[in-house]
Amino acid sequence: MGPADFAPLGTDRRLALQLVKTTVQEPRSTLHRLSRDNLASWYRFRQTHATCTICGHRGTLLYELPDATILGSMRIGILRETLRCRSCCGKMRDRLMARALLDVVEKVCGVRARSIDDLALVLPDGLRILDTDANGRIARRLAHLPGVVVSLYRPELPSGEDLGDGVVNVDLEQIPFEDGRFDVILTTEVMEHVRFADKAHAEIARALSPGGHYLFTVPYDETLEHTWQLIDPETDEFLVHPPHMHGDLGMRDEGIKSYRVFGRDIVDELGTVGLDTTFRWVDDEASGIFHGDLFVAQKTAEKVALEKA
């Protein structure tokens, strides 16, 4: 029996093992994770019932006692990377993206579903979706459907290469699909890791169909007028020390380097490539979403007109 059998993800046993690991690797972080506020939140969410927008399971949520000091320094909300569904193990941000996709499908196609599992049964064949996290819980449930493309990024391989099991290698700075291919594009905690986000956003706008939707989450600080650059994208030089390395629950394991924390100027920047963008705080306790942060962008008529000119 392996650790995953003894302590599956989404269980209190797994949380206990994580705490033991943190105690050995970063004792100070354990003290932060076992703070009075964290323990109060753990107890609160053990009593909170929600219906998961991914799998449809109704039950209590697992609050994994994240280190608020680390997440705060990275401008990541303390609840975003935790509050796992005890059935599918989706985090709060996963349920937030699922709800956003469900809302768009209902708006565009008139098809209503309560969860991604339900959506997989009724998703119209003509709706074309690109989910850039093939390992994510939404992609796993929709990848087999016509019109749905799921991707990962392997920088050592050409953009567009088949990675097997229906997964495409996609470099967002050079998306390997024709103009207007997709009606919906999803990126979850991706754009902060893209070296040239402006190029990626221009490519996303190009690959969207007229009126298409781009749904995404990123580290965002609405008090910042301008995006905070953590790494110079031209030289790849770290501008902030210690660097922001993103990993599970904000723990100090080796992770993926983050180039930026987005500020309010992201809305105007997306506007320059023809994406009409709004930032939303989402509260939906029934779905286990508490002050979730989400961007919804739509390809504008002006962008379509320019492409046709």
Looking at the DSSP bridge assignments, the partners of residue 292 are 282
Q: In this predicted model, what pLDDT tens digit does every residue of 74-100 receive, in sequence order?
A: 999 999 999 999 999 999 999 999 999
State in Å, rounded, how far the first CA of the chain is from the last one.
63
Cis peptide before 242 (omega within 30 of 0): yes
pLDDT at 22 (0 to 100)? 86
Looking at the DSSP bridge assignments, the partners of residue 27 are none
Domain extents in the chain: 3-85, 92-308
The dihedrals phi and psi of 277, each to the nearest 5 degrees, come to: -120, 140
Please answer whether residues 14 and 7 qualify as being in contact, where contact means their C-beta atoms are separated by less than 8 angstroms.
yes
pLDDT at 50 (0 to 100)? 98
pLDDT at 252 (0 to 100)? 40
pLDDT at 3 (0 to 100)? 55
Sign of the dihedral through C-alpha 41, 47, 48, 49: positive
Q: d(Cα 2, Cα 13) in Å, to the nearest integer?
A: 13
Q: d(Cα 44, Cα 36) in Å, to the nearest integer?
A: 12
Q: d(Cα 51, Cα 41) in Å, to the nearest integer?
A: 19
CA 52 to chain centroid, in Å, comes to: 16
Residues (pLDDT < 70) of the chain are: 1-6, 248-254, 301-309
CA 134 to chain centroid, in Å, comes to: 12
Instruction: Decide if domain 92-308 falls under CATH 3.40.640.10.
Output: no
Q: In this predicted model, what pLDDT tens digit does every residue of 208-257 receive, in sequence order?
A: 999 999 999 999 999 999 999 999 999 999 999 989 988 754 334 467 89
Burial of 22-59, coded b for 16+ CB within 10 Å and e otherwise, reads beeebeebbebbeeeebeebbeebeebebbbbbbbeee
